Amino acid sequence: MRVYTRIMLRSDRTFDLVTCARIGANCTHFNLRKASRVVSQLFDEVFRDAGIRGTQFGLLAGIYWSGTATLTQLARLLATDRTTLTRNLSLLRAHGLVVTARGRDRRARAVAITPRGRRALARALPYWEKAQSRIVRRLGLKQWRKLMEALGAIVRLGASI
């Protein structure tokens, strides 16, 4: 069996394993997504006992923090698109954790956390603290602070694109 290490691209540039390794080591997108999956798995594992997923916790916290926000405002706050947000809200709405209603502008939809959602958030908070402190402890406070600073800078890049 012959192993192919080179693929010819239409531009006649060769794409090889060395290039792929360089991408794996240096690609911002690849490495942020990989790190995000690791963090998501850690939080989901810890949140399992709270009966909630990490993404749901973050969404509930964002909704609670924003008060009653429109889908557009919430999408901007969470740096996501409205379609993804709507899909993620559907499960929270089905479990009675959030409600959506027409905003002041009849074209806008507002999202608010319900009392049941606030209780779920409060119940999950100790699990979040456990996961958060585990990450800070493993990274070290100095490295964690640098990470938070770098992530903030990356989010600000999105606002300028």
Please, where are the H alpha helices in the chain? 17-26, 28-47, 54-66, 71-78, 82-94, 115-139, 141-160
**Mean pLDDT value of segment 17-23:** 80
- The number of beta carbons lying within 10 Å of the beta carbon of residue 107 is 7
Name the residue type at position 27: C
Cα-Cα-Cα-Cα torsion 76, 78, 83, 86, nearest 10 degrees, comes to: -110
Domain boundaries, the chain: 1-45
pLDDT for 47: 94
Interval 81-124: pLDDT, tens: 989 999 999 999 999 999 988 767 767 789 999 999 999 999 99
Model pLDDT for residues 35-85, shown as the tens digit of each residue: 999 999 999 999 998 889 999 999 999 999 988 888 988 998 888 998 999
Res 144: pLDDT: 97
| pLDDT for the residue numbered 48 | 92
As a whole number, mean pLDDT of residues 8-15 equals: 58
Whether 95 and 51 have beta carbons less than 8 Å apart is answered as no
Q: What's the rounded mean pLDDT across residues 129-140?
A: 96
